[in-house]
Structure 1
Amino acid sequence: MSILSTPIVGTDPAASPAGPRDFAWRSQARTLIDDLLVRSPAIYWTDFLLSTGIGWAATAVYFLARPWSLLQIVAFLVASFLFYRAGTFIHEIIHMPVRQMVWFKRAWNLLLGVPFLMPWIMYSNHIEHHNHRRFGTPSDGEYLPLGSSPLKETFKYLVQAPLLPLFMLLRFGIAGPVSWFVPKLRHLVLTRASAAVSNPYYNERFPKRFENHLKVVEALCLAYIVALALLVWNDVISLTQVAMGYLLLAFTLGLNWVRNLAAHRYVNDGTPMTLAAQVEESINITGQTWLTVAFFPVGLRYHALHHLFPALPYHNMDAAHRRLMEHLPADASYRDSNRDSFFAAVAELWQAARRTPHESSAMRAWLPRSDKS
């Protein structure tokens, strides 16, 4: 199977059981943005190639500059934020139709997915995040009830970020290849280590129909790791440079890990939610600041809008949001999803968590049965 040739098909948000009383404005919203649902391949290619190309150039400067110099620090930050921007196209890829922009998907994997050990097929579970039977429940890989659990759960979430590159290295460098020959280990890898999730209790098996695709990218990632190991063994790459690479990757992945705190309110107790409730649980960051532009690239700032219309391409989200704010009824719940800044959204999450006593923690619904004491 050719790498990146397998499509991911999204669920139709209209299939949600949200009733007309609590969501009557959605049909009007769809009419308002209907002409904005067409993707522009030129915008995707230009944005991605510029972000990735400048990101790799900044990485070269980062490695070659004098240690701890201003130039090295600036290059590190530029590379991280541009790789973060380019990386978020994985979200767009997952929502693309069956055969749309196949070469873009391949290019994303080859220029970023494999070098960063995060091929896009690992994110195929994201579609479940839009399923009304899974969203906000323990079977949602991208949801933890941080706002309805004590603060310690938020801290536990954050301390995982620096360990993400190590996990990926072990997954693609050891566990994945060994599991090709050990069926029991393969089952464990496909169940516990083959999905890009923030919910550590997620244990859904990787889809069988994508397993061949997964093996292709596993082989590519292994070849990449072996090549790097040989360069280290032959002193072409120093251990200091390995540490520098780890730091760059950890910081880049950590940006998304922290940004995710402002994607939802995270106060659901684990019961299924209607599409209307999903939108109300999600957040738009509407402040026009440099931080919003850098920290919420490729449409991530409009997360409530994305849950309302998952197929809406990122380059049309600004226009779509403006239309909805101008024309939707004053009492439309979409308006309640807006927050002025990342800090406002996180402060709300923080305060909700502080008010939650241990005995009322919603996280109990996520824990394995043996840990629910």
Structure 2
Amino acid sequence: MTVHDPIFASAPVNRKAIPDDAAMLRAAADLTREYSVANPAIYWPDMLASALLGYAALATAIMVDSVPLALLSGLVAMLALYRAASFIHELTHIRKGALPGFRLGWNLLVGIPLMIPSFLYEGVHTQHHARTRYGTADDPEYLPLALMKPWSLPLFIIVASLAPIGLILRFAVLTPLGLVLPSLRRLVREKYSALSINPAYRRRAPEGEFRRQWLWQEAGACLFAIALVTSPAVLGWKPLLVYMAVHSGMTVINQLRTLVAHLWENEGEAMTVTAQYLDSVNVPPPSPFAALWAPVGLRYHALHHLLPSVPYHALGKAHARLIATLGTESPYHRGNYAGMWPLVGKIARSTMVKR
């Protein structure tokens, strides 16, 4: 397998000039057709085990007096809950009826207790996959980070570390106030109801069944957030502080993963599917830690942009077949990287280039 080394490729590429590679696109569709079905026997145990391990470790971190054991338990909680939370990405792509009850179960067990109900992502992430939106000003999940100022990258991570505070304000404060202030309710819906990184993105009002899902999920997150901020009166401060620390760490890991999910070199022009693939990143085996920082198939993010309907548990097999089938001259091989830190370094060096 060819793994692209980003160390010697720090100059941004004119991606809008990259034509589609018909052979790669045809092979991707043909070779992976059999992998498009989500398997409930994989989804449910994986999500449930991750959530239960995460909450058990979180409870241990809160209750034990030993600092080393508390730190170890907190780390386990952070990684396990991060994996459980990552299923929000799968929810946006699951075909209707493929996994009955999974959306409800995930929201009750993970989305609401972590204050990230699925309405924050559903209907948003699919716009990132739209052929004419990716990498443009209309993409809610794209910023040309590699072309921005050097201070933008640390700021990108620092903001993520404050996510638990922002989510508490969003659901414990703004949601109740929005019930009595229609203008605030509209502002919250447009600007603070999406897990996006594009500050210019504005969200439309939900309709139909999705609106009903949005309402009960927001109500649940609101009640949980209020219970969370009032909990010190009954439980003391330690449970809240440990929860916040674990949540913050989980969000920082996800933000680092987001930072290396793409090369962020597009300046707003529409791109071909092949150009979108080359602006995205796979971190396949043998990278030893990618399964921890990019769980639930997120290590195959470039492949996911080629085949967004393929469930996470089939991406590894699809990747292996494409690597074995497509010659080394195929652009598919240029979307594979060795790990997180070389990619961070590449993007950081790109921000230091004078333009």
- TM beyond 0.5: yes
User: Judging changes above 3 Å, is the alpha-carbon distance between structure 1 residues 206 and 80 closer, same or farther for their aligned structure 2 residues?
Assistant: farther
Give deviations 1:265-292, integer Å, cap 9, x for gaps: 0010011112121111101012424311
Q: C-alpha separation between the residues in 1 aligned to 2:20 and 2:226? A: 58
The one-letter code matched in structure 2 to 1:248 is: V
User: Judging changes above 3 Å, is the alpha-carbon distance between structure 1 residues 23 and 221 closer, same or farther for their aligned structure 2 residues?
Assistant: same
- Report how far residue 186 of structure 1 moved: 1.3
- Report how far residue 182 of structure 1 moved: 1.7
Gaps of 5+ in 1: 1-16, 361-373
Q: Tell me the equivalent position of 1:364.
A: none
Q: Tell me the equivalent position of 1:224.
A: 224
Q: Tell me the equivalent position of 1:128.
A: 127
Q: C-alpha separation between the residues in 1 aligned to 2:139 and 2:39? A: 30
Q: C-alpha separation between the residues in 2 aligned to 1:227 and 1:149? A: 40
User: Judging changes above 3 Å, is the alpha-carbon distance between structure 1 residues 127 and 102 closer, same or farther for their aligned structure 2 residues?
Assistant: same
Task: Answer yes or no: is the 8 Å Cα contact 2:28–2:306 preserved in 1.
Answer: no
Task: Answer yes or no: is the 8 Å Cα contact 2:87–2:296 preserved in 1.
Answer: yes
Q: Tell me the equivalent position of 2:160.
A: 161
Pairing partner for 2:270 from 272, 276, 279: 272
Task: Answer yes or no: is the 8 Å Cα contact 1:177–1:218 preserved in 2.
Answer: no
Gaps of 5+ in 2: 1-15
User: Judging changes above 3 Å, is the alpha-carbon distance between structure 1 residues 335 and 206 closer, same or farther for their aligned structure 2 residues?
Assistant: farther
Q: C-alpha separation between the residues in 1 aligned to 2:148 and 2:229? A: 42
Pairing partner for 2:74 from 73, 76, 83: 76
Task: Answer yes or no: is the 8 Å Cα contact 2:19–2:272 preserved in 1.
Answer: no
Q: C-alpha separation between the residues in 2 aligned to 1:231 and 1:240? A: 10
| Alignment RMSD | 1.9
Q: C-alpha separation between the residues in 1 aligned to 2:96 and 2:161? A: 34
Secondary structure of the residue aligned to 1:215 is helix
Secondary structure of the residue aligned to 1:159 is helix
- Report how far residue 134 of structure 1 moved: 1.4
Pairing partner for 2:315 from 302, 314, 317: 317
Pairing partner for 2:294 from 293, 296, 303: 296
Q: C-alpha separation between the residues in 1 aligned to 2:229 and 2:169? A: 13
Give deviations 1:291-329, integer Å, cap 9, x for gaps: 112111110100110000001111111111111011013
Query: Does structure 1 residue 174 correspond to structure 2 residue 173?
Result: yes
Query: Does structure 1 residue 261 correspond to structure 2 residue 259?
Result: yes
Q: C-alpha separation between the residues in 1 aligned to 2:17 and 2:93? A: 22
Q: C-alpha separation between the residues in 1 aligned to 2:241 and 2:125? A: 31
Q: Tell me the equivalent position of 1:6.
A: none
Give deviations 1:85-144, integer Å, cap 9, x for gaps: 111011011101122213111111011100110001110200000012211112212111
Instruction: Give the length in aligned residue pairs.
Output: 338
The one-letter code matched in structure 1 to 2:292 is: A
Task: Answer yes or no: is the 8 Å Cα contact 2:38–2:94 preserved in 1.
Answer: no
- Report how far residue 21 of structure 1 moved: 5.6
Q: C-alpha separation between the residues in 2 aligned to 1:18 and 1:89? A: 34
Task: Answer yes or no: is the 8 Å Cα contact 2:287–2:338 preserved in 1.
Answer: no
- Report how far residue 81 of structure 1 moved: 0.2
Q: C-alpha separation between the residues in 2 aligned to 1:334 and 1:261? A: 21
Q: Tell me the equivalent position of 1:368.
A: none
Work out the percentage of aligned pairs sharing the same amino acid. Answer: 34
Give deviations 1:9-39, integer Å, cap 9, x for gaps: xxxxxxxx99986333211221111111111
Q: C-alpha separation between the residues in 2 aligned to 1:155 and 1:244? A: 24
Q: C-alpha separation between the residues in 2 aligned to 1:150 and 1:231? A: 41
- Report how far residue 263 of structure 1 moved: 0.3
Task: Answer yes or no: is the 8 Å Cα contact 2:262–2:279 preserved in 1.
Answer: yes
Task: Answer yes or no: is the 8 Å Cα contact 2:93–2:309 preserved in 1.
Answer: yes
- Higher RCO, Cα 8 Å, sep 6+: 2
**When the two structures are superposed, what TM-score results if normalisation uses the length of structure 1?**
0.86
Task: Answer yes or no: is the 8 Å Cα contact 1:18–1:276 preserved in 2.
Answer: no
Task: Answer yes or no: is the 8 Å Cα contact 1:137–1:143 preserved in 2.
Answer: yes
Pairing partner for 2:87 from 76, 79, 89: 89
Task: Answer yes or no: is the 8 Å Cα contact 1:129–1:142 preserved in 2.
Answer: yes
User: Judging changes above 3 Å, is the alpha-carbon distance between structure 1 residues 163 and 230 closer, same or farther for their aligned structure 2 residues?
Assistant: closer
